[in-house]
Structure 1
Amino acid sequence: MATKARAASPGHWSNWSGSVEARAEVLHPRDEAELARIVTSARTVRATGAGHSFMPLCQSDDVIVSLAEMAGTLTVAPDRSKVRAPAGWSLNRLTAALWEEGLALANQGDVNPQSLAGSTATGTHGTGRELGSLSTFVRGMRLVGPDGTARWCSCIENPELYQAARLSLGTVGIATEIEVAVVPAFCLTERIEKRPWGEIRERFDELVERHRHIEFWFFPHADSVILKTLDLCDACEPPRSTTDMEETTFRRVLNLGAVVPPLVPFLQRMMMKTPMSARRRGPAHSIFPSNRSLRFEEMEYEMPRAVGLDTLDEVIGWIRAKRLPVSFPFEYRVVAADDIWLSPMHAGPVASISMHQYAKMPWRSLFADAEAIFRAGGGRPHWAKRHTMTRDDVDALYPKAEAFRVQRRLADPEGKFLNPHLAELLS
């Protein structure tokens, strides 16, 4: 007999940064049968993972479900090219289980608390010239529909639904099991060093070709960047450190800047004058992610690769000219193109520009002005990061938007898996 779903924080839910809240019943179903009963009896229902979305994707005034406690196991395909895993597992749990099987994800982002379902449904990505988002790893999934019925979709079974489900923001059903492509387990060497912005600006394309993974962080009021590269290495033990950079000093700088915002430019320049060099080696799943405890708000735009550095130059120049107290660094990565209907990478390879602001400081007007620069350059926002897209914007940026809406309506005619934010964009 199925166990009763456990309620957690009844009546209240919030995202990781604390900027999105909901008054809803939050339930933790233990199995698919219990999930089906919750879905069929709910007026509306949204699924949540780690709450790392900055947009109100999981917001609901009725029911929110977390699949983190649902029963399930990892199943490896006979040819070892893919696995089926519980959709509610965190990437941390999934990649540890893959390592025990001698397998790995080909790429990850820089944190791993997110659920497998949440990271694929929103197009979460890492960095790498030939590597796409986690959504591109999806080979199939089991979806519970609004009537509680579960069905499998893949490129063979229910292929149109599968095309929509690969990046769906959770609007075509609640995934309980996802099949993802995997590769043999591998190890990485991580190198971090401070480099002059002018040098990286000139040589970045060359460095992208040289390294399997590359990114940099750029404090807008400093003249150097923090360059991070990851490359394949021989088998080795896990690293002693679980993070790429220590946060204590940065936390002090952020808190001082929050109290006296005009000090932010000076503090950044002083911080970036200190020596900075580090190296780690270890299994890929222990090197990709790092501990990130500082709370922030984030906006990310995927720019056409050809205009990425110029766009970053423009937004940095705007911040410097106005001496704006943008306290976090910009993060710059590259991501391969894909063919997913609602993917920001559908039109070609991109340069991903992430703009952050400390959660204790104002961010809305900063993001609004910066967004105009990103959009003027032809950028498309990450669905889970701050943006102000409308339905017209979705139609203009995504040629397959209406094809997606057709599948969404077929999968959920009454809009049980929508909330006001998603209805505005996708209903």
Structure 2
Amino acid sequence: MSWSNWSGSVTAAASIARPHSEDELAMLVRSAHRLRATGAGHSFMPLCESDELILSLEDMAGEIRIAADRRTARIPAGWSIRRLTAALWEEGLALANQGDVNPQSLAGAMATGTHGTGNELGSLSTFARGFRLVGADGEAHWCDVDTNADLYQAQRLSLGLFGIATEIDVAVVPAFHLAERIEKRRWAEVRESYDELTRQHRHVEFWFFPHSDDVILKTLDLCDPCDPPPTTTDIEEATFRRILGISARLPFLTPLLQRLMMRSGISGRRRGPAHSIFPSDRNIRFEEMEYEMPRGAGLETLDEIVGWIRRRRLPVTFPFEYRVVAGDDIWMSPMNAGPVAAISMHQYAKMPWRALFADAETIFRAHGGRPHWAKRHRLSRADVDALYPLVGRYRAVRAAADPQGKFLNPHLETLFV
């Protein structure tokens, strides 16, 4: 059977199993030599790749259990963010933050450090308060800050190396509503005012087509209760899809097409429950690389990369996405050295991307960046050692939890064994 990730760039010939219970999952884990778990396949790196067994927890039985103080909720780990946020809303609760994609599984998003944007808001991994794991021996274990503490610290951003999470205790907040505003601004203006914008708004990000002098600015702020929005996306994709089709056939037209597209009026307003405003439909397939830059180096880094693209008239068809994320204390988190500016570089899946990303990565690394684990990167073991001072503890916990390397694959083995 064949498995592929969302973009189609990672494939695997493996058995695919969908256990319905923890007992069934445990039996599969015990009998496997090598296995990996997958959610929605939104990792661009070969994190889920396996030539033997790939597990999906999408069909696992389970339900949300709300703590008495309503500050945490026990969530089935295989649930999608879409499913769990809708269920939390029914209980008058929400996640404090999300990204703009919600088909991802909760376990997968936490395992890779997936994040949204916000000065004071960390990645989804920072919301985890405990995990129930089926380990390499097929036995279930609980870990949190007081129980199996080292396993918990490593599992907070696990890359799937320590077992299969079946339940996650997650920090939650009272349900809230958001007002979204989208508008076109000059790049020079946004670059000058971005730090102030992040203080004025709960969430702020922008998209920057590299051959245009304008950016698309998006802000989200708390608002009064209101009905869900009439649309499930922030920006309509039809015009962009047509331009991508032309650029794929005639790449040299990309700069002109981007400038023409950005001459049109770009604006939008939506209001609604937070879980219906955070995500937006993303239906056009792309490849992605994302680097988390030291916060003070973010805008300078983006300016340098855009300048390089313009000088060489490179057919980079998608906009850069720019966000900020709070720092954390998670061992293998790109945010554990302090707050970051997250710069996402995309390329249309039907166009060449490997050489573009490799050259851009040189610029990101020169400014002190660390990559998102699920997005395209070329880190070596030596790079991981240099970037993550606590990787030795991480590897030691992995070796103790999985001495036979059951949860490894070739990509992860080169970095963590």
TM-score for the superposition, normalised by structure 1: 0.97
Mapped partners of 1:143, 1:248: distance in 2:
43
Kindly provide the CA deviation profile for residues 281-332 of structure 1, in whole angstroms up to 9, marking residues without a partner as x.
0000000000000000000000000010000000000000000000000000
Partner of 2:197: 207
Mapped partners of 1:419, 1:45: distance in 2:
8
Q: Is residue 292 of structure 1 aligned with residue 282 of structure 2? A: yes
Mapped partners of 1:54, 1:375: distance in 2:
19
Partner of 2:252: 262
Partner of 2:153: 163
Partner of 1:422: 412
Kindly provide the CA deviation profile for residues 253-292 of structure 1, in whole angstroms up to 9, marking residues without a partner as x.
0011000000000000000000011100000000000000
Q: 1:38 aligns with which of 13, 20, 28?
A: 28
Q: Which amino acid aligns with 1:27?
A: A
Q: 2:386 aligns with which of 374, 381, 396?
A: 396
Mapped partners of 1:391, 1:414: distance in 2:
20
How far does residue 350 in structure 1 lie from its aligned partner after superposition?
Answer: 0.1
Mapped partners of 1:275, 1:27: distance in 2:
48
Mapped partners of 1:404, 1:327: distance in 2:
38
Q: Which amino acid aligns with 1:317?
A: G
Q: Which amino acid aligns with 2:416?
A: L
- Kindly report which structure 2 residues correspond to 1:245-260, keeping only aligned pairs within 5 A, or say none: 245-260=235-250
Mapped partners of 1:19, 1:95: distance in 2:
29
Q: Is residue 220 of structure 1 aligned with residue 220 of structure 2? A: no
How far does residue 162 in structure 1 lie from its aligned partner after superposition?
Answer: 0.1
Q: 2:372 aligns with which of 362, 366, 382?
A: 382
Partner of 2:309: 319
Q: Which amino acid aligns with 1:196?
A: R
Partner of 1:6: none
Mapped partners of 2:200, 2:386: distance in 1:
35
Kindly provide the CA deviation profile for residues 218-268 of structure 1, in whole angstroms up to 9, marking residues without a partner as x.
000000000000000011110001000110000000011000000000000
How far does residue 80 in structure 1 lie from its aligned partner after superposition?
Answer: 0.2
- Kindly report which structure 2 residues correspond to 1:16-415, keeping only aligned pairs within 5 A, or say none: 16-415=6-405
How far does residue 382 in structure 1 lie from its aligned partner after superposition?
Answer: 0.2
What secondary structure, in the 3-state scheme, does the structure 1 residue paired with 2:258 have?
helix
How far does residue 107 in structure 1 lie from its aligned partner after superposition?
Answer: 0.2
Partner of 1:5: none
Q: Which runs of 4+ in 1 moved over 4 A?
A: none
Mapped partners of 2:416, 2:102: distance in 1:
28
What secondary structure, in the 3-state scheme, does the structure 1 residue paired with 2:245 have?
helix
Mapped partners of 2:285, 2:348: distance in 1:
6
Mapped partners of 1:292, 1:310: distance in 2:
28
How far does residue 354 in structure 1 lie from its aligned partner after superposition?
Answer: 0.1
Mapped partners of 1:71, 1:343: distance in 2:
30
What secondary structure, in the 3-state scheme, does the structure 1 residue paired with 2:130 have?
strand
How far does residue 111 in structure 1 lie from its aligned partner after superposition?
Answer: 0.8
Mapped partners of 1:218, 1:229: distance in 2:
15
How far does residue 198 in structure 1 lie from its aligned partner after superposition?
Answer: 0.5
What secondary structure, in the 3-state scheme, does the structure 2 residue paired with 1:331 have?
strand
Partner of 1:4: none
Mapped partners of 2:72, 2:246: distance in 1:
48
Mapped partners of 1:86, 1:194: distance in 2:
40
Kindly provide the CA deviation profile for residues 87-119 of structure 1, in whole angstroms up to 9, marking residues without a partner as x.
000000000000000000000000100000000
Mapped partners of 2:335, 2:180: distance in 1:
26
Mapped partners of 1:397, 1:78: distance in 2:
40
| Residue segments in structure 2 that go unaligned for 5+ positions in a row | none
Mapped partners of 2:2, 2:296: distance in 1:
44
How far does residue 337 in structure 1 lie from its aligned partner after superposition?
Answer: 0.1
User: Would you say how many aligned residue pairs link Structure 1 and Structure 2?
Assistant: 417
Q: Which amino acid aligns with 2:101?
A: V
What secondary structure, in the 3-state scheme, does the structure 2 residue paired with 1:270 have?
helix
How far does residue 164 in structure 1 lie from its aligned partner after superposition?
Answer: 0.2
Q: Which amino acid aligns with 1:140?
A: G
Mapped partners of 1:155, 1:282: distance in 2:
35
What secondary structure, in the 3-state scheme, does the structure 2 residue paired with 1:375 have?
helix
Q: CA RMSD in A?
A: 0.4
How far does residue 123 in structure 1 lie from its aligned partner after superposition?
Answer: 0.2
How far does residue 367 in structure 1 lie from its aligned partner after superposition?
Answer: 0.2
Mapped partners of 1:76, 1:294: distance in 2:
36
Mapped partners of 2:329, 2:157: distance in 1:
11
Kindly provide the CA deviation profile for residues 320-376 of structure 1, in whole angstroms up to 9, marking residues without a partner as x.
000000000000000000000000000010000000000000000000000000000
TM-score for the superposition, normalised by structure 2: 1.00
Mapped partners of 2:60, 2:127: distance in 1:
22
How far does residue 175 in structure 1 lie from its aligned partner after superposition?
Answer: 0.2
Mapped partners of 1:401, 1:232: distance in 2:
38
